[in-house]
Structure 1
Amino acid sequence: MSALLQFHKTILSDIHDPTTNDLTIMARGLGLRRILCTLMKIYNSPGTLILLVNASPEEEAEIGEELGIMGCRNPGLRVIDHETPHRDRKALYLAGGLFSITSRILTVDMLQDDLPTASVTGMLVLHAERVTPTALEAFVVRLYREKNTTGFLKAFSDEPEHITVGLQPLKNIMKELQLRTVHLYPRFHESVKESLERRRADVVELSQDLSESMGDIHHALIQCMTATLAELKRSHSTLDLDDLTVENAYFRSFDLIARRQLDPMWHKVGPKTKQLVSDLGILRRLLGYLLSYDVFQFHAYLETLLATNTFTELGVKHNKSAWMISEEAHVIFEVAKRRCYLITSTAKLVGGLPPVAQDNDDEDWDVLDDVTGQQGDKKPKWLPEGIEPVLEELPKWSLLSEILLETEGEIMKMEGPRRPPAAPGTNVVLVMASSTRTCNVLSEFLSSKDDDAPRGQHARVMLMRKLRLYLWWKRKLAERKQDGRAAFAMPDTFGRSGPNQGYERMYGTGEGVSAALERKDKERLERQAKRRRVRGGGPPVAESSRPKQQQPVSVLGTIQSEANDIAAFWAAQSTEDVAAAMALDLEDPALINFDSADLVNEFDAHYGLLAPQQTVIVRPYSDDSDDRMLAEFQPRFIVMYEPNMDFIRRVEVYRSSNPGLSVRVYHMVYANSCEEHKYLAGIRKEKNAFQRLIKEKATMIIPIHDERLDAKSEALIKTISTRIAGGRREAQETTQQIIVDVREFRSSLPSLLHASKILIVPATLTVGDYVLTPDICVERKSLPDLISSFNSGRL
């Protein structure tokens, strides 16, 4: 655990007092978890009971490990979940300590008095931006304050953008948490700037241009998003849809924004509008995949999208998207295919390959090519005639190779005879990317790249393997289409013993349950095709009688014909040729079998610890756990393959927390791309969010929280039943209560009932969800669940 910076100490001095209740909002990447763990260590003393609420399982594990590093052990942080028995929970509460507990279990234990609420020392609430009037956390705080007015409550959030939606969102959160003090710590806070700008890392900003084909696809995707947004606004001109912009569409939260804007009339929204909202999410993902996927992964994903927007054998439309039939979509599909390969003579595919002569001198010619530096032009026997591989690499791959070559030279200087005296840090090279899939692609590229190849051809071995996998996938698609089975996505690898085993392991063999499910889907589609004609729609017809001109024939027809040609090519070959072409070659280092005994023996012979200067670590961006990762590895060279605002601040904190450590950061970004626009828009959105929060804090009316009034007269009236002599009988003085099934506490209704001053009694019910009287119970069901209950006979 690194030492606390000055602004960390300032924040702790403001919020550590157990007699105060605060809401702390920080910018992401400044070390919120470090402050939280330090605060829990301060409060960890015998006889205290501290509750951590609203933490995810990953956060619970990370916080527990950090507390252990800080010395909070035996018992440290204990997690209470659904696996903890009821009797054990009561014993743990009485013993005291640090507990992380889910909101549902905490609510039930408070209502059943299993948790001594009056003895709770304090409560720490994470992700305060998610607290709403119907959230379980608001219910927990209300129960907590009913019996405990002396315990403290500290709430934390590092997502200020989520606290800018609606009217006075900050005030609403403070009202539900019953807080009156808020602390704001943006990146431009005076104490934060003073601590982080005292020591700066050596940052090398690298702006990489998109390739010509990537630029064409990128421009076409933006045009499709603009047209889809315009169509969505045109369909609902009466709604305020100003927030639905292309800039906001870069972020994952855009789907929530669109749903929130359309929520007042979502029950009236037709399938066209829902399809437009779904299309925006698909286009956003395509923009990200264009910059991170290799050419075959991206092209295969486009083909799966196209397969879902075509007609079935029974003439039923599947998710017809408007952008699919635009001119821009034609550009996207055609250019994506040209990045992979070119079709020089499609007719040759059907004819099959000529007989391959057995040449025993191939190895001699390969050795001669290596000596003379020439590339042999022998075509792989698994590549059909008429396909010319293009194998376009992502521009950042060559740039990453140059960066690693530069870091290797710097490391050699550091470890040379004139090396400086021992300094903190290691010569580990840390490469950070946005997702696990991107990290897998980069790891595969770095492990198989050819350093002697010219720029743009370092990954030819890897891409040839991807082409081989792609051709196998196309053959499988054609076979499944002939059998009437559904398509599947292209896998990342062949598998351990060949492409078939990899396919069967990931997608099943089509037998057993898979066959039953496919048969059930086929029957459902047949019933759908035979349904009665409804007003405004035409009768479903077979695919053979439906005109094909309604779909982008130039794209769909070409792709389908290519799949058929490739399948025909494999069908024309003998079984031995297909097996030899598609099976893994153990002598090929790029396609090595990880189950071979030779590899196991070689691994045992060369097993050992790698030196830091020989280590390149590729990891995806995470949450505050990246702070501990930096503290453990202590890298001197950090490569940010994709821009990330949070990680830049973590590097600033890491550099400032380790005096004397020299850190060089390579910041890579595609120029004039959605990646750059998203990065800049994220910085701008966070800055605007903090400015709005600062303004709201300055003008906010501080909420005053009174104790719940003892409205006995109102409760007395509610207990009088008008069915009994018009209410003239004596009224019962018992409090109105409702027995609620414990599984119903995931919903917001128990919280609303409790807010209406009704006593809630949790219990495990066999029949019904809410017991109102000895004669009346209520079963809460959604419409699909209700229909299925009627069909199955349960109701």
Structure 2
Amino acid sequence: MLEYENQMFLDLLHEDGLLIAAKGLGLESLLVSLITTYNDPGNLVLVVGTSPKEEEYLLQHLQENEVSPIPKKLTSDYSVGERSNIYMDGGVLFVTSRILVMDLLIERIPVDLVTGIIVWRAHRVIESCQDAFILRLFRQKNKTGFIKALSSSPMSFTVGFCKVERVMRNLFVKKLYLWPRFHADINTCLSARKPEVIELHLTMTNSMKQIQMAVLDLITNTVQELRRSNNTIDIDEFCPENAISRAFEKMVKLQLEPIWHQLSIRTKQLIADLKVLRTILEYLCQYDCVTFYNLVSSLQTTEKAMQSGGWMLLASAETLFVNAKLRIFGENKASPTKKQGPQSSNKEPFTECKLEENPKWLALSEILAEVRQEAVESKDTEKCLIVTQDDRTAQQLKEFLMFGAQPVLQRLFYSTVAVKFGIPTPSTLPGKTTNQKGTVLKERKDKKGKAKGKTNEEEENATLTQIAKKYDFIGKNETEEDTEEVEFMEHLFLSPLILVQPLKNASDPLSLNKILKEMQPKYIIMYDLDLSFVRLVESWQARQAEEQVKVYFLVYKGTVEEQVYLTNIKREKDAFEYLIKEKANMIVPEYLDGKQDDHPDLIRDAKKPSETVPQNQITRKGGQVEEPQKEQRVIVDMREFRSELPALLHKRGIDIDPVTIEVGDYILTPDICVERKSLSDLIGSLNSGRLYNQAQSMTRFYKKPILLIEFDQNKPFHLQGRFFLSSDGSSSSKDVAAKLQLLTLHFPKLRLLWCPSPYATAEVFQLLKTDKEQPTVEQAQAITAESNPDADIEKFNPQIKDFITKLPGINTKNMYTVLNRVTNLVELMTLTQEDLTDILGNSKNALALHSALHHTMKQPINQDAVRGRGKFTKKGVKRFRK
């Protein structure tokens, strides 16, 4: 461990707390140290908040450090009995939040024996999440165990009112540890062993400069128009500097999503325009001229112009479109028209076109040439890591290194732009033949003889072989399969080994950590700047003190790319300065750690005399002794623990029984069954017909079935806008509304419950359970889709019952009388009107039913034939002329 990492570890080990560090400073090593310290069968430590890939990385790191026993991962693959045995064995366990909540509620885990809980990604712990539920259950029954929380997202604690204080309250910790990059210990440690950094300030081409200026003008105009048209909204952070940052979308979502349905169409168009313009700037700095032109040309349509807020009509937009085309066709060649299609007399006028090359590609070639020269001089096999922003850029760089710039650009041109304008494709394109491998591979093949004579140790050979087989190096021959190990090794030890890796990998967030550790590159080329990776390289270099790594920065000087990077640094610095001030002014109650009985969050219901007032102090009111309220209980289906509602119900003093039930999601009383649906789930269930079957089962087995439609608390409580039904009365909106109406008409007993948030749902559930009988788990589990209910009200065939309820004259009062006194439909058809009057008890209903069964229905009158025959009087009564 580094010096500052050791100090982090000692601080957190000495006293529980929340530790917030800057991105890329290696919190994973701190987590490994905590796990190693408590990894003993005499302890029972639970780790929550980690993803499967992170757990895999941590377990691999522990195995390499020869830690024994290796911690286990508890998932749904283990049975109930196996989980109980694993808990009793002790040690460190990675447990998913859903499983741990159920085990704590059922008391399958010995809570009093738990040594402590380590929380990863602590910034996500809000009051209604599963991790907060776990900590509350843990602290209610365990007053001695530790809680240690880690987070590397300081900006998440600056959003909202007293966010850091609320998170600390949910974590039950009293200490706050802050470790920014400008911390004295971190600065001293990383400055002692710094990598050799070479910044290459590149210059954009003239066309790229014109495009950037035009897009920045469009962003400025759009932001000004947005601020001008929304005077009532707090849009102080809506500025051009923030609009070019990737965090702008989160900022807009946080502020405007709750009132999105109240915004004008103009405002929504302007917000969408800012996203489009920011995407254009990203494409300009990252991708080639052909890819950029394809994006811009896709926006230059009538449909896109109608959807935008009007930026395409400005002069800067014309500058954007013209210069994007100049990068493809050049200034001396006119852009192709419809007349210059395949029938044009010109003979392949664009076969020799000179497409504008990306300046970063040229700089990358020069860097690799320098790296190759150094590798030749050192007579050693060096490894070079090229880091890009995404997979698309990484794939383009691989093709560029294999075939060169113009072959790659021409292949893209003839596969996209040429097809659009009808330009004939040449018979052979560069980069398609198998014998063309580019200058990089050619030089390596020429040096094959030198590579054979290179002598390395066996351990080094084996390590390089494993690395080359695991990762896709550019130096590996991709067109011909190497059948022999000798031939593979000949290609392997040709220096340098080049690996192109994207920064963002959704499937494995720690992929770069693994690559740096396994590959041990001597050269790192940052094709795209990223703050987290810069810190990661700094900490990795500090650990690799024996050899200095060489880092190349490729950045367009004085451009949006540089500004975005500097803005990210500033935002993180401002976040830590805000947290430092909050820590200085923070009032920390003595009960905040939850180790005393006076923590307000541990008192589940303040209205319970049994929990707040001792039995010998119960007072008399009105001459009667105030009796303690009975314990309330709700049966919850296990699949519902993905939502926030069970945690909020438990906090209100309602006991939770997590079981698997087939009918409904929540059983409030023996008569009340609730099926919970979010908006997206509601639409999917209506379209698939699943909600009909669920409503049918609930109405069949419960007297009071309820369909709960629960909204997100961060979104508007409104059935219009982009979240559900559109306000333009489209067919899709009408379909969803019609299906909801049809559902309520078909099941009259079904009640709809609309709740704006899970908090409101928990309050309504508590009101519905007031003075009601509590449900039992045995009864709820006994009800299945195939079971026969014992109630006399449900002894009839449900299909026949549904048919009878739709007949005229049949209502809820006489429906069961008909079902009890009439054997079948044939007998019902033979009854006279007098018999039906005797059964229904109403002559009017009997006449309606008899007429529907025996009289021929007349064909509806053609409305076109009688159109215009009537007139309206002043009172609005329509009379027909005779």
> Where on the TM-score scale, by shorter chain, does this alignment land: which range?
0.7 to 0.9
Equivalent position of 1:766 in the other structure: 662
- Letter aligned with residue 676 of structure 2: R
Equivalent position of 1:487 in the other structure: none
Alpha-carbon spacing, 1:352–1:39, altered in 2? closer, same or farther (3 Å): same
Partner SS, residue 24 of structure 2:
coil
- C-alpha distance in structure 2 between counterparts of 1:58 and 1:218, whole Å: 39
Q: Among 35, 38, 42, which residue is 1:43 paired with? A: 38
- Letter aligned with residue 638 of structure 1: I
Residue 640 (structure 2) pairs with residue 744 (structure 1): yes
- Letter aligned with residue 175 of structure 1: R
User: What's the offset of the Cα at 1:345?
Assistant: 5.6
Equivalent position of 2:416 in the other structure: 470
User: What's the offset of the Cα at 1:409?
Assistant: 2.2
Q: Among 613, 635, 648, which residue is 2:495 paired with? A: 613
User: What's the offset of the Cα at 1:584?
Assistant: 9.3
- Superposed, which structure 2 residues align to 1:327-366 within 5 Å? 327-341=315-329, 342-343=333-334, 346=337, 349-352=340-343
Equivalent position of 2:571 in the other structure: 685
Q: Among 108, 116, 127, which residue is 2:102 paired with? A: 108
Structure 1, gaps ≥5 residues long = 312-316, 356-378, 417-425, 450-458, 476-562, 571-577, 718-727
Contact kept in structure 1, 2:40 and 2:91, CA below 8 Å: yes
Q: Deviations over 1:391-444 (max 9, x none)?
A: 11111111111111122222233239xxxxxxxxx6212222222221111111
Q: Deviations over 1:538-589 (max 9, x none)?
A: xxxxxxxxxxxxxxxxxxxxxxxxx3x51xx66xxxxxxx895799954663
Q: Among 132, 136, 153, which residue is 1:138 paired with? A: 132
- C-alpha distance in structure 1 between counterparts of 2:89 and 2:2, whole Å: 34
Q: Among 170, 173, 187, which residue is 2:164 paired with? A: 170
Q: Deviations over 1:460-491 (max 9, x none)?
A: 121111112224xx64xxxxxxxxxxxxxxxx
Residue 1 (structure 2) pairs with residue 7 (structure 1): no
- C-alpha distance in structure 1 between counterparts of 2:539 and 2:669, whole Å: 59
Alpha-carbon spacing, 1:586–1:663, altered in 2? closer, same or farther (3 Å): closer
Alpha-carbon spacing, 1:709–1:462, altered in 2? closer, same or farther (3 Å): closer
Equivalent position of 2:546 in the other structure: 660
Alpha-carbon spacing, 1:134–1:220, altered in 2? closer, same or farther (3 Å): farther
Contact kept in structure 1, 2:375 and 2:496, CA below 8 Å: no
- C-alpha distance in structure 2 between counterparts of 1:39 and 1:597, whole Å: 44
Partner SS, residue 781 of structure 1:
strand
Contact kept in structure 2, 1:110 and 1:117, CA below 8 Å: yes
- Superposed, which structure 2 residues align to 1:2-81 within 5 Å? 4-17=1-14, 20-72=15-67, 74=69, 76-81=70-75
- C-alpha distance in structure 1 between counterparts of 2:666 and 2:225, whole Å: 45
- C-alpha distance in structure 1 between counterparts of 2:545 and 2:336, whole Å: 64
Range moving further from structure 2, 696-705 or 329-338: 329-338
Contact kept in structure 2, 1:670 and 1:676, CA below 8 Å: yes
Partner SS, residue 92 of structure 2:
strand
- Letter aligned with residue 397 of structure 1: W
Partner SS, residue 338 of structure 1:
helix
User: What's the offset of the Cα at 1:155?
Assistant: 0.4
Partner SS, residue 375 of structure 2:
helix
Alpha-carbon spacing, 1:117–1:333, altered in 2? closer, same or farther (3 Å): farther
- Superposed, which structure 2 residues align to 1:233-248 within 5 Å? 233-248=227-242
- Letter aligned with residue 428 of structure 1: K
- Superposed, which structure 2 residues align to 1:524-543 within 5 Å? none
Q: Which has the higher contact order (CA 8 A, sep 6+)?
A: 1
Partner SS, residue 663 of structure 2:
coil
Q: Among 356, 377, 387, which residue is 1:392 paired with? A: 356
RMSD: 3.3
Contact kept in structure 2, 1:348 and 1:385, CA below 8 Å: no
Partner SS, residue 780 of structure 1:
strand
Contact kept in structure 1, 2:608 and 2:628, CA below 8 Å: no
TM-score of the aligned structures, taking structure 1 as reference length: 0.73
Contact kept in structure 2, 1:25 and 1:184, CA below 8 Å: yes
- C-alpha distance in structure 2 between counterparts of 1:350 and 1:768, whole Å: 64
- C-alpha distance in structure 2 between counterparts of 1:107 and 1:259, whole Å: 30
Contact kept in structure 2, 1:49 and 1:96, CA below 8 Å: yes
Equivalent position of 1:538 in the other structure: none
Equivalent position of 1:589 in the other structure: 436
- C-alpha distance in structure 2 between counterparts of 1:83 and 1:303, whole Å: 51
- C-alpha distance in structure 2 between counterparts of 1:289 and 1:598, whole Å: 30
Alpha-carbon spacing, 1:612–1:185, altered in 2? closer, same or farther (3 Å): farther
- C-alpha distance in structure 1 between counterparts of 2:626 and 2:21, whole Å: 58
- C-alpha distance in structure 2 between counterparts of 1:730 and 1:134, whole Å: 32
Contact kept in structure 2, 1:28 and 1:159, CA below 8 Å: yes
Contact kept in structure 2, 1:209 and 1:395, CA below 8 Å: yes
- What percent identity do the matched residue pairs reach? 36
Partner SS, residue 161 of structure 2:
coil
Contact kept in structure 2, 1:344 and 1:388, CA below 8 Å: no
Q: Which has the larger radius of gyration?
A: 2
Q: Deviations over 1:286-344 (max 9, x none)?
A: 22121111112222223334459349xxxxx6x44533333323322222222122545
Equivalent position of 2:481 in the other structure: 600
Range moving further from structure 2, 152-161 or 262-271: 262-271
User: What's the offset of the Cα at 1:135?
Assistant: 2.1
- Letter aligned with residue 93 of structure 1: Y
- Superposed, which structure 2 residues align to 1:70-469 within 5 Å? 70-72=65-67, 74=69, 76-306=70-300, 309-310=303-304, 319-341=307-329, 342-343=333-334, 346=337, 349-352=340-343, 384-385=348-349, 389-415=353-379, 427-449=382-404, 459-469=405-415
Contact kept in structure 1, 2:215 and 2:281, CA below 8 Å: yes
- C-alpha distance in structure 2 between counterparts of 1:22 and 1:732, whole Å: 37
- C-alpha distance in structure 1 between counterparts of 2:302 and 2:516, whole Å: 43
- Superposed, which structure 2 residues align to 1:480-629 within 5 Å? 563=420, 565-566=421-422, 586=433, 589=436, 599-600=480-481, 606-608=487-489, 610-611=492-493, 613-621=495-503, 625-629=511-515
Alpha-carbon spacing, 1:183–1:771, altered in 2? closer, same or farther (3 Å): same
Alpha-carbon spacing, 1:323–1:390, altered in 2? closer, same or farther (3 Å): farther
Structure 2, gaps ≥5 residues long = 442-476, 593-597, 612-623, 694-742, 744-882
Partner SS, residue 635 of structure 1:
coil
Range moving further from structure 2, 225-234 or 39-48: 225-234
User: What's the offset of the Cα at 1:710?
Assistant: 7.6
Partner SS, residue 600 of structure 1:
coil
- Letter aligned with residue 6 of structure 1: E
- Letter aligned with residue 540 of structure 2: Y
Partner SS, residue 589 of structure 1:
coil
- C-alpha distance in structure 1 between counterparts of 2:319 and 2:484, whole Å: 48
- Letter aligned with residue 31 of structure 1: G
Alpha-carbon spacing, 1:406–1:388, altered in 2? closer, same or farther (3 Å): closer
Paired residues in the alignment total 627
Alpha-carbon spacing, 1:407–1:154, altered in 2? closer, same or farther (3 Å): same
- Letter aligned with residue 681 of structure 1: T
Alpha-carbon spacing, 1:784–1:115, altered in 2? closer, same or farther (3 Å): same
Residue 753 (structure 2) pairs with residue 753 (structure 1): no
- Letter aligned with residue 20 of structure 2: I
